[in-house]
Amino acid sequence: YVQTCLRLDKTLYFKLINIESTTGNGKKRCIAMIQEAIKQEEERKKPQKFGGRSNETRQVWNEKEIACKYFSLRILSGQLIPAGEFDEVKIIIGLYHGTQPLFSGSIMESRSVDTLNPDWQQEIKFDITLVNLPPASKLCCSIHFHRRRTSLLISDEWIWIGWANLNVFNHNSCLIQGRQKVRFWPTEMNNNKIISSMYGFNERALAGINPDRSYPTIELEFPSYKYQIATLSPRNGLAMQAQTKNEHLLRSCAFQDDLQETGENIVHSDFYDWLRSIEFELTEQSRVELWDRRYECMRVPESLPRWLKCVKWSNRDDVLEAYKIVENWPTKNIDPLMTALELLDVDYPDPFVRFSAVRLLDTRIDDDRLLPVILQIVQAVKNEPYHDSALARFLLKRSLLNQQVGHYFYWHSRIELKNPQCKVRYGLLLEAYLRYCGEYAEDLGRQVRSVDKLIYIAELIQNSTHDELYNQKGYLAHILTREGYPQNLQYFRSPVDYSSELGLLVLDHCRIMSSARRPLWLRWTNGSEYAEHYFPTFDLIFKNGDDLRQDMLALQFIQMIDIIWKADGLDLSLLPYGCLATDYCSGLIEVVKNAKTIMNIQKLGGLKGQFQFDASALYRWIAKNNPGAEKLKSAIDLFTRSCAGYCVITYVLGVADRHPDNIMVNERGQLFHIDFGHILGNFKMKYGIRRERTQLVLIDDFVRVITNNSTEKNPIETREFKNFKKLCIKGYRILRRQYRQIVCLFKLMMNCDLTELNSEADMAYLRQTFAIDIGANEQEACDRFEQVLLDSYRSSVKTRVDWVFHALNHIKS
């Protein structure tokens, strides 16, 4: 509300209320939930009998006979193994820690057996003792079938058709024992091909078997013992019982926060500069050096995530020392949010490391800083080894204490119920939240019922005949006034924007849009008692049939970039409008008020404007809506800054499919982009040729506004354009310095099953746009970006030709 009012020069209105009315109940519910959880935990720990045997737990290092045993398993047999075109089947099993094999040689392959009789009875022994198994060890399995060559069209080959992951230790940190059935997941989920390693593993996915009983299953047998065998765990406190060597060095480095970077305490050397570098690649030699100089690494506090990658997780002594170092790591002068987010990635599966990351979030990050990254934090829950984790508890706590956090936590978690791999985990989280969130559960229920009604209406319209759609506005109004619809579609909180109360539907302004999916443009009155001090109405577009998760992600990044720039004193007037995916194929989009697409503005200039022969139509439109020299000057400044911001953003994020229907300008002169269906350099192709031949959009129409309708033959030499160019380069320079942060936020979204973001390879475009791939320094990267900016303007005739064809297609359709 405050940001919107400041952006629009509106007066701010506040009401003073008792803080207990907003947080008191939330605190009580949170305390009640915690007390019940503690009670259940104590009940669960009571000795019980299983098959006549007590569940007594013993620590693995106290049982010398067991501690020295090698970790092993036995592949017994398979079920539902397809025969037909396949004649042989084999299993590959890897012992992993996060996304990396636990040690060299931790990948084992079974012998191949006949698909008609899939009976292995084969022991697999790994070269690691039980005492050295880290708490986050997991087994990655894949199943491969041999297809015999039967014709010229069918080759003789091994085909990977399924994967599965299994935790070596259960949620109580006890070693897995006895027989376990492993049902494989298919290699394709939600029409997306799973990107796997060379062994067919999906090591980024969470552990758990496929609930669909129609898929191939194998039975594994692990050694059984008379009691439960426990390993290190932050929950049982055993992780901190280690006594590290060189305790005096550890203590001395733990207090680096108190050092001032003056005189002899200045920490600069090739080693420290390497730790601070933008991109960080680890070789075996550098891993050894990082471990040998581990206490020195504490002098560069922001290097914690990088240092943790050098830990030898297959060595218990090293793990115990790593725990002690993490516990004493100086965190006063680091960015707690970005450090915590890096440590919540799938590359850091250790429960104690993740517990430390959550502790950073809980003690150093308030809700205002948490909200912009709530999407990533909800996704990071997938990276937890178990359903019950420090991160899950943190999310529940913050969601119950702050209704706004809870609102977005609910919607981002609810969409994951469609994902069979993690629906149980998110279902449990949502159940706990709804059980204790009090009256707001009813509000969320109204929102869900409204979205369900909109899906039904959208499907009804999509299946309607052409005659029914001829009078589109009347047809939609007829549907919206049916019995039961008004009650479900009025007076509820906007799912897109927690601060907005939707009131009555304004039927005269509701319409069916013309694009293929028939989106619904809907208008509500402002249902708040303070409506007179804000907007009288709210407009939302409801889409059914399109996956808006990528748009939501792109807009969230624009919001984060806006925060990064403003923190550095740069305001480029971005407009990250609201967008919320409510399902894999439906969602709501906020309509920006008093804005038109470039296409519609150019149409006002007649055919000359529509077909790119009149570059002044946009300037005239802005001038008409901002009469007077001062207002026009302010509008041009706003356009210049926003155009610079989106030039940098669309280049850095590789936003593709830019045409005059997805670039908009509001009446105040603020430019912004919409529709982010293609990002990270996924440019559209036509007959093998890239349709967009410039890396960003900077056409004559934009430059005409930036230069105040200058008639100079070479506008890029004008003072106004040079100022615009400086803004672009400054914005690019700031973002490049935050490269690690941007990559971290993208990596946390890789398990979303988005078509254009599901592997490390998809993020290679970021390395290219920031000139990391060529090893450029900051100035060289900025010079390269400046050249891209100028080339895009000089080649704008190519953009204009593309836009002419877009206009022709628009007229034809």
Mean pLDDT of 99-107: 92
Q: Is residue 578 part of a domain?
A: no
Q: Which amino acid is at 543?
A: K
CATH number, domain of 664, equals: 1.10.1070.11
Q: 22 or 683, which is more confident?
A: 683
- The answer to whether residues 211 and 287 belong to one domain is no
Give the separation between CA 372 and CA 418, rounded to whole angstroms. 24
Mean pLDDT of 82-96: 89
**pLDDT value at position 30?**
67
Q: Is residue 270 part of a domain?
A: no
| Residues 215-255 pLDDT 10s | 999 999 999 998 888 887 655 544 445 444 455 455 555 44
CATH number, domain of 122, equals: 2.60.40.150
Q: Residues 191, 137, 284, 286: is their CA dihedral positive or negative?
A: positive
Mean pLDDT across the chain, nearest whole number? 86
- The answer to whether residues 290 and 223 belong to one domain is no
Give the separation between CA 791 and CA 237, rounded to whole angstroms. 60
Q: 63 or 326, which is more confident?
A: 326
Closest of 556, 605, 552, 598 to residue 579, by C-alpha: 552
Which of 68-77, 196-205, 512-521, 699-708 has the weakest average pLDDT? 196-205
Q: Report the number of distinct structural domains present in the chain.
A: 3
Q: Is residue 207 part of a domain?
A: yes
- The answer to whether residues 78 and 181 belong to one domain is yes
**pLDDT value at position 483?**
65
Q: Is residue 500 part of a domain?
A: no
- The answer to whether residues 87 and 200 belong to one domain is yes
If phi > 0 it is left, if psi is from -120 to 50 it is alpha, else beta; for residue 467 that is alpha
**pLDDT value at position 612?**
55
Q: How confident is the model at residue 384 (pLDDT cuts 50, 70, 90)?
A: very high
Strands 689-690 and 685-686: antiparallel
- The answer to whether residues 623 and 688 belong to one domain is yes
Q: 687 or 556, which is more confident?
A: 556
Q: Is residue 585 part of a domain?
A: no
- The answer to whether residues 629 and 775 belong to one domain is yes
Mean pLDDT of 514-519: 84
Give the separation between CA 647 and CA 295, rounded to whole angstroms. 43
Does residue 285 have a pLDDT over 70?
Answer: yes
Q: How confident is the model at residue 606 (pLDDT cuts 50, 70, 90)?
A: low
**pLDDT value at position 516?**
78
For the chain, the C-alpha Rg in angstroms (whole number) is 29
- The answer to whether residues 178 and 84 belong to one domain is yes
Identify the domain boundary among 440, 474, 496: 440
Q: Is residue 178 part of a domain?
A: yes
Does residue 731 have a pLDDT over 90?
Answer: yes
Q: How many helices (H) and strands (E) does the chain have?
A: 31, 29
Does residue 48 have a pLDDT over 70?
Answer: no
Q: How confident is the model at residue 811 (pLDDT cuts 50, 70, 90)?
A: low
**pLDDT value at position 194?**
59
Does residue 261 have a pLDDT over 70?
Answer: no
Identify the domain boundary among 405, 424, 440: 440
**pLDDT value at position 754?**
85
Most confident of 60-64, 188-192, 386-390: 386-390
**pLDDT value at position 495?**
97
Does residue 693 have a pLDDT over 80?
Answer: no
Q: Give CA 36 to chain center in angstroms.
A: 32
**pLDDT value at position 63?**
79
Domain around 119: 58-230
Identify the domain boundary among 201, 230, 259: 230
